[in-house]
Each structure stands twice: as C-alpha cells, then as structure tokens.
Chain A
C-alpha cells in the first residue's frame, strides 16, 4: 500500500471517518472510498459495495464492472452513550460491552453514576451535551436517554439530533414522548428530526424488567446499525 494512502487512513480513523480501501485485484491498484460522503465522480457501483461492506463491518471481495475489487473496511468503533445512570442503564451498559461496542454512561447526578453500580463501565459526571461536544458524535455513535429528567434528557437529545448519530432512543411512555416532542419542536426541531427518536424505546417484545428492557433497546440499536434502511419491527419496549 502506498504511504500516502496509509497516512490518509490513519487520519480518517483518528477523525472517526469510515473509509474503505479498494484494491483492484487484476492491477493491484488501490484507492480510498468514503462510503457515506457525497463524492462527485466516484464509481456508483463501487460506492454502493463499499457502503454495504462498511455497514456490515466486513471486508470482502466484490465483483463490479471493471473487475474484482478487494474492499477493506476501516470503521470507527461503535459507541453507545447512555444518558442516565438508572437501573436499565446498569443492564444495558454491560450488554453493550458484550456486544463488542464502546460504552459511556453519563449522568451529572454523580450519586447515581458510581463505580459500585457500574463496575468496569466508563462513567462521566458531565452534563450529557457537554460530554457529547467533547467526544464528537459520528455516524457510529448511538445515544439513549433514560434519566426521566427533562433538564438532562432534552439537551442530550438535541445534541444527538444535531449529529449523524445512527440511533437515538428515549426511555419514557407515549405520553412522555408527546410532551418531549413539543419541547423539542419549541427548540426548533422539525418532523424529520423528531422521527429519528425511537420512543417508546426498544423493540416491542413485551419487556418488563430492567434487563429485558435493555435487551429490547440493544436489539433495536443493532437493527438500526446493520439495517439502517429497514423499517420492520419498531416501537414499544
């Protein structure tokens, strides 16, 4: 691989920009494809194949007009930011870890976000929107709010909606969600923004206990990560 390509990949990885190295097998020629960027002049078939490989996190050989190409995917890690160090968060944070994703639990109510309640889980006592501004949200970041305190959840959702975050979930009943939508509307968000919020959060599997609710949220999150175009199985833990 050429040195300048390697330097660009390093920079993209550092900036959490998904990038795919495409190598034409017959010639050995390599170039970079940005699967989610608006790029004029890029081969649409190659773009589509790179996008699918990036979404599935799987490097592969594809056959496109012009021959076989090896696509090597460099994706930033999937991160899940859980806002609210509540019971469901205790279960969800461990499950997120086991699914192989990075996790952060944020709660300015420091008495909740303790190491005893969240063994081994990274914690932050910042306000969530401040933590998000520091971390930088990208398209591989998910945000789930669960404090049940509007002064903490609302700014977190606003920050998530202003980002490319692939999953935005908000714990709360249908009634809570309706009131929340009105507050976010007053902050200037429109229908398209509000439609990104999964609330009631999680797949409808009849979840009752904190652990079950965590399963339903994680399942929905995986669905949005791997099948971002799909519309099946939505709404209501």
Chain B
C-alpha cells in the first residue's frame, strides 16, 4: 500500500476539515494519549449532557490518518453515548484487523480508513483518537 493509497482524496479532505479541532472552555473530561513509535499525540476534551456527548474538542499533532480520525470523531461522536463510542471503536478495530464490515451512520465514514487494513503498523494512527476519547469519557464520569 502506497502513501497515495492510504491518503486518498476523501481522507485528505476529512483531515483538512479538522471538524472539532480546538479547545473547550470547561471540559468535564480530558485526556492526552501519544504513540511513542511515531510521535502522534491526541488531546480530546468532552462535555456531557444527559449521558451523551454535548461537546467535543481535539488537538492533534500527528499524521494525516490521526488527524482524519479525530475529525471524524468531531462530527460523529457528538450526540453519542459512551457505549456507542465504544462500539464504534470496536467496529473500527475489527475492520482494521480483519476487514470486517463497519457500523452504520453516523460512523459510516470509517469506510475511508479501509485501505489502512493492509498496513498493520498504521492501525494505531486511526485508533489513537478513539482511545483518547474513551479515556476522556471515563474521566468525565468519575
């Protein structure tokens, strides 16, 4: 798989859109995770309302895959419950690991990451924002 195959146009657009990039004034939960092998670093902040994500902001220093995955969360995770986020993360991981089919809307855009299935070393780039969000949600509920 070449870089061009991984970084196809729709994925580049999603990364550039950077939906949700920024900071929250008063986050209820915040977490920063990094990948010590490639340097990617993601910070995610959340606010919850009635058990659902009311606001989400992220700051990414990393590759295009990591930026695109965070951008996807900025759109798809707002309104979701922590359980729905966990299920989407599991679906993304299964697609990357085994090429499994993906969850429905609002997570269907995970399809853009299907080429990463063939490049095991880059799976973590896609999942890091999901894991940072999971950690931020865990902290928000304490």
- Using a CB–CB distance below 8 Å, which chain A residues touch chain B? 107-111, 125, 127, 149, 151-152
Contact = CB atoms under 8 A, between A and B. Distances in A.
22 contacts: A107-B39, A108-B39, A108-B41, A108-B61, A109-B36, A109-B37, A109-B38, A109-B39, A110-B34, A111-B36, A111-B37, A125-B34, A125-B36, A127-B39, A127-B41, A127-B61, A149-B38, A149-B39, A151-B39, A151-B62, A151-B63, A152-B39
B129 to A, nearest CB: 16
Contacts of A152: 39
Contacts of B62: 151
Contacts, number: 25
A151 B37 CA distance: 14
Nearest to B63: A151
Contacts of A107: 39
Interface in B11-28: none
A58 B129 CA distance: 53
Nearest to A150: B63
Given A109-B38, A152-B39, 8 more contacts: A107-B39, A108-B61, A109-B36, A110-B34, A111-B37, A125-B34, A127-B39, A127-B41
A125 B62 CA distance: 14
Interface residues on B, range: under 10
Nearest to A151: B63
Interface in B37-58: 37-39, 41
B13 to A, nearest CB: 17
B6 to A, nearest CB: 14
Contacts of A108: 34, 39, 41, 61
Contacts of A127: 39, 41, 61
Nearest to B37: A111
A127 B41 CA distance: 9
B3 to A, nearest CB: 10
A127 B36 CA distance: 12
A149 B64 CA distance: 12
Contacts of A110: 34, 36, 39
Contacts of A109: 36-39
Nearest to A113: B36
A94 to B, nearest CB: 23
Nearest to A152: B39
Contacts of A149: 38-39
Contacts of B63: 151
Interface in B54-90: 61-63
Contacts of B36: 109-111, 125
A109 B41 CA distance: 10
Nearest to B62: A151
A153 to B, nearest CB: 11
A108 B41 CA distance: 8
A220 B41 CA distance: 34
Nearest to B41: A108
Nearest to A114: B36
A210 to B, nearest CB: 21
Contacts of B61: 108, 127
A181 to B, nearest CB: 19
A158 to B, nearest CB: 14
